[in-house]
Amino acid sequence: MDFTVRKLTPNVGAEISGLDLRQPLDPATMAEVRKVWLDNVVVVIPEQPIDDEQQIAFSRQVGALELINMSALQMPGRPEIYGATNLDENDELMPPDHPVMQVNHDNRKWHSDSSFKHVPAMASLLHARIVPPVGGDTAYANMAAAYEALADDMKAKLEGLVAVHNFYWSRRNVKVTAFTQAETSALPPTRHPVVRRHPETGRRALYVGSHTESIEGMEWDEGRALIDGLIEHATQPEFVYQHAWRVGDLVWWDNRAALHCGMPFDITRHKRRLHRTTVAGTGPTL
Ligand code: OGA
Ligand code: MN
C-alpha cells in the first residue's frame, strides 16, 4: 500500500497519510510503517473511521496487547481499551471529583505509559472519538533527542543509575481511591535504568517521568531534583510535538523513547473521549 510521510517537527513526530486501518496492513507495508514510527517516535495517522475491534487488530500488528490493569479505567467490557475520557458509559460528563476523573487528571503530568510495571509498555495508540472544541491536546517529547542533547558530564553522571517507578507516586494526590486492594498490591514499585537503550533502534533515551519516584543510592532530595531537572530538560519546545486532536486521528507513540502528557480543557463543559490500546513490552529493562 502506498503512503506518504510528512515530518511534524524537526525532532519528533510524523504524519502518515494514505493508510486505511480498517483492514490489516500487508507485512511489507507494516514493516515500512514501523520504520517510520521508530525513526520519528510518534506518528499521526489521521482520518481513520475505525472501531474498537479494528483498533485492537492494528495494535496487535505492532505487538501483543497489555490489558488495562484497573477495571475502573477500562472501557466497559473491553479490558484492552483504556478510556482517556471525562465521560461515563452514557457519554455524560463525570463530576471532576469522580475517582476516575482524579486518576485520569494525572495524565497531565509527563509520563511513559506503564513505566510502573516490571515489563513496561512498548507502545500506545490513542484514537479520537469525541474531541473538545478547544484544548485537550496531547504533547509528546522525544527522550532520545533529549538524551543526546545532554552535556557529556551529565551523561556520565547518569550512566548506570537506576530509578524506582511507582504508580501510587504519580497518583499520590488522588483523594478517593479508585482502586481495589488487589489492584494496589498487584502494582508494587519497580526498577528501571534512568537511561534506556532502545531494543530495536539501539538509540539511548532518558527514561524518567511522573511515575518515577526516586533514584537508587541517592538522597531523596537529590534524586527528586535530578528527576525533575531531567523532565524539565526533555520537555523543552525543541523536543516536543503537541497534537491538536481531530475526530478519527490515531496517534501511535513509542513509550521507550517518548514522554507524553494531556493538556487542559474545560472538563466541566466539554466532552472528550479517546480510546487507547497499549502494546506490551518484550522484557524487563534491567
Ligand atoms: C493516555 C494519556 C493523555 C490525554 O491515554 O495514556 O496519557 O491527552 N492520555 O488524554
Ligand atoms: Mn498516558
Q: 36 is in which domain, residue-wise?
A: 4-279
Q: Is residue 286 part of a domain?
A: no
What span, in angstroms and rounded, lies between the C-alpha atoms of 275 and 286?
30
Least confident residue range of 39-43, 98-102, 219-223: 98-102
Query: What is the number of the ligand closest to the CA of 262?
Result: 1
What span, in angstroms and rounded, lies between the C-alpha atoms of 209 and 189?
14
Q: Kindly list the protein residues that place their beta carbon closer than 5 angstroms to ligand 2, a single-atom ion.
A: 113
Q: Is residue 220 part of a domain?
A: yes
With cell 475517582, the residue in question is 99
| 103: its cell numbers | 486518576
Position 252 scores a pLDDT of: 99
**CB-based pocket (< 6 A), ligand 1:** 84, 107, 113, 124, 126, 138, 260, 262, 274, 276
Amino acid type, 54: Q
Residue identifier of the C-alpha nearest atom 3 of ligand 1 = 262
Closest of 34, 170, 68, 154 to residue 112, by C-alpha: 170
> How far away, in angstroms, is 221 Cα from ligand 2 center?
26
Three-class DSSP labels, 80-117: EEEEEECECCCCCECCCCCHHHHHHHHHHCCECCCCCC
Q: Is residue 176 part of a domain?
A: yes
Position 68 scores a pLDDT of: 87
Integer angstrom CA distances of residue 92 from 86, 133, 150, 174: 8, 16, 45, 22
Q: Which atom of ligand 1 is nearest to the CA of 126?
A: 5
Q: What is the pLDDT of residues 141-155, one digit of tens each?
A: 999 999 999 999 999
Please, is 110 exposed, middle or buried when counting C-beta atoms within 10 Å of its C-beta (0-12, 13-18, 19+)?
buried
**What is the arithmetic mean of pLDDT over 226-244?**
98
Q: Could you tell me if 196 and 141 are in contact, meaning their C-beta atoms sit under 8 angstroms apart?
A: no
Ligand 1 binding pocket mutation candidate from 70, 107, 110 (most atoms within 8 A of CB): 107
Full-prediction pTM beyond 0.85? Answer: yes
Name the H helices within 133-209: 143-148, 152-158, 167-170, 181-185
Q: Is residue 246 part of a domain?
A: yes
CATH of the domain at 206: 3.60.130.10
Least confident residue range of 21-25, 160-164, 180-184: 180-184
Position 1 scores a pLDDT of: 75
Average pLDDT of the residues of the chain: 96
Amino acid type, 192: H
Quote the DSSP letter at residue 281.
P
Q: Is residue 284 part of a domain?
A: no
What span, in angstroms and rounded, lies between the C-alpha atoms of 213 and 285?
17
Strand ranges (DSSP E) for the chain?
A: 4-7, 14-17, 42-45, 74-75, 78-85, 123-130, 138-142, 162-165, 190-193, 195-197, 204-206, 212-215, 240-243, 250-254, 258-262, 273-279
Q: Which atom of ligand 1 is nearest to the CA of 262?
A: 8
Amino acid type, 274: L
| 63: its cell numbers | 505487538
Q: Which atom of ligand 1 is nearest to the CA of 113?
A: 6
Position 73 scores a pLDDT of: 87
**What is the arithmetic mean of pLDDT over 169-194?**
88
Q: Is residue 103 part of a domain?
A: yes
With cell 500500500, the residue in question is 1
Q: What is the pLDDT of residues 85-131, one digit of tens each?
A: 999 999 999 999 998 999 899 999 999 999 999 999 999 999 999 99
Q: Is residue 285 part of a domain?
A: no
Residue identifier of the C-alpha nearest atom 8 of ligand 1 = 262
With cell 472538563, the residue in question is 267
Query: What is the number of the ligand closest to the CA of 126?
Result: 1
pLDDT for 178 beyond 90? no
Position 75 scores a pLDDT of: 87
Residue identifier of the C-alpha nearest atom 6 of ligand 1 = 113
Q: Could you tell me if 239 and 194 are in contact, meaning their C-beta atoms sit under 8 angstroms apart?
A: no
Ligand 1 binding pocket mutation candidate from 87, 116, 261 (most atoms within 8 A of CB): 261
Domain count, the chain: 1
